[in-house]
């Protein structure tokens, strides 16, 4: 089974446990997610099955959108509501003050990963060190906040915010840092991931729905195709007499394609198809006046036109 499950992860299981559950339900030998979602968080968790795992590294780069509840006046060791309370103060903050604070976090910035995270340091995950009562120096990482909006304020100390951000952004830490700027501390008291790249809540499915579909032998209806998250990427269609040539890793020129190559930037990736079947990803190059492409990631096990022609 090759493709994607757009999982609606419930609060509770880790992302690793959610992937394990999907493997058991689908029988997939290879599966992985495209970006960790905290155990206490809910929302979109794209899961790659089979050959789709070859795309997981690229999909982790996708923008993420979240809706979070931030509670002011609290500081915990995990920066969320599941941790040990380190400090509690009376929050005195207004809607206008929150809106000003949020604007200060927009754009490119740096963020220090929390101790309770899966980031590795010295060969060990930070949360393993944190559970032993250790705290180590962490290097800040570059992140970008594309949008940060106040959805609703519940006086005196709770607010709902929407965030669109780059990969590697910890929303727990963002809430903590907002609280630090506010002078009273803050935690993330709830989080739901609204989208990850092309995957949104609109067509996300639960583990229960997957299990029911497996019992009804209709799992394939819930598996999204390999090119689902690639719709914004340029594409090209290959000629039949060049199929084997392409899949053997040879360079392809415009005459090898059904249509000429669209002008792309050097090194840009594009989708390559044969008879509307996705073969994989190729890289565009231009030497002088001659554009060419070469396969970078093969997503099909077929090697001859006969395999595809039988499907038509």
The predicted-structure confidence for 49-104, as pLDDT tens digits, reads as follows 999 999 988 888 889 999 999 999 999 999 999 999 999 999 989 999 999 999 99
Query: Cα separation of 74 and 63, whole Å?
Result: 29
**Cα dihedral angle (203, 209, 214, 219), rounded to 10 degrees?**
-10
Query: Cα separation of 171 and 79, whole Å?
Result: 9
Contacts for 263-271: CB closer than 8 Å, 24+ residues apart: 263/291, 264/234, 268/234, 269/233, 269/296, 270/233, 270/234, 270/235, 270/236, 271/227, 271/230, 271/233, 271/234, 271/235, 271/236
**Across-strand partners of 147?**
164
Scanning the structure block, which residue is given the tokens 């340029």? Answer: 234
**Across-strand partners of 80?**
188
Average pLDDT, whole number, for the chain?
A: 90
Can you give the pLDDT at residue 127? Answer: 79
Can you give the pLDDT at residue 286? Answer: 80
Can you give the pLDDT at residue 248? Answer: 87
Exposure letters 27-64 (e unless 16+ CB within 10 A, then b): ebeebbbbbebbbbbbbbbbbbbbbbbbbbebbbebeb
Cis amide bond preceding 156, omega within 30: yes
What positions carry a catalytic annotation? 38
Task: List the domains of the chain with CATH numbers.
Answer: 3-62+198-222 (3.30.2350.10), 64-196 (3.30.2350.10), 233-309 (2.30.130.10)
């Amino acid at each position: 089974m090759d493709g994607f499950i757009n999982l609606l992860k419930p609060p509770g299981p880790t992302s690793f446990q959610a992937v394990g559950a999907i493997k058991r339900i689908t029988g997939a030998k290879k599966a992985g997610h495209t970006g960790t979602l905290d155990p206490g968080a809910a929302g979109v968790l794209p899961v790659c099955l089979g050959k789709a795992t070859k795309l997981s590294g690229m999909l982790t780069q996708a923008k993420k959108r979240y809706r979070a509840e931030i509670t002011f006046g609290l500081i915990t060791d995990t920066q969320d509501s599941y941790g040990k309370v380190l400090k509690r103060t009376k929050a005195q903050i207004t809607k206008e003050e929150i809106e000003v604070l949020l604007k200060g976090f927009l754009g490119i910035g740096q963020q220090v990963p929390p101790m309770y995270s899966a980031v590795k340091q010295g060969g060990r995950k930070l949360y393993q060190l944190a559970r032993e009562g250790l705290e180590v120096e962490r290097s800040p990482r570059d992140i970008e906040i594309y949008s940060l909006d106040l959805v609703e304020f519940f006086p005196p100390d709770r607010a709902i915010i929407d965030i669109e951000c780059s990969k590697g952004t910890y929303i727990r830490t963002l809430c903590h840092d907002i609280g630090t700027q506010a002078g009273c501390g803050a935690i993330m008291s709830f989080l739901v991931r609204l989208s990850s790249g092309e995957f949104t809540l609109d067509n996300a499915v639960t583990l229960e729905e997957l299990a029911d579909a497996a019992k009804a032998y209709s799992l394939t209806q819930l598996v999204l195709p390999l090119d689902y998250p690639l719709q914004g990427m340029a594409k090209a269609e290959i000629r039949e007499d060049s199929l084997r040539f392409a899949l053997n890793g040879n360079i392809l020129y415009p005459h090898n394609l059904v249509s000429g190559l669209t002008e792309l930037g050097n090194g840009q990736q594009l989708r390559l198809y044969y008879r509307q079947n996705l073969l994989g990803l190729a890289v565009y190059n231009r030497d002088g006046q001659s554009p060419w492409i070469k396969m970078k990631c093969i997503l099909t096990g077929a090697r001859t036109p006969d395999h595809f022609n039988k499907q038509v």
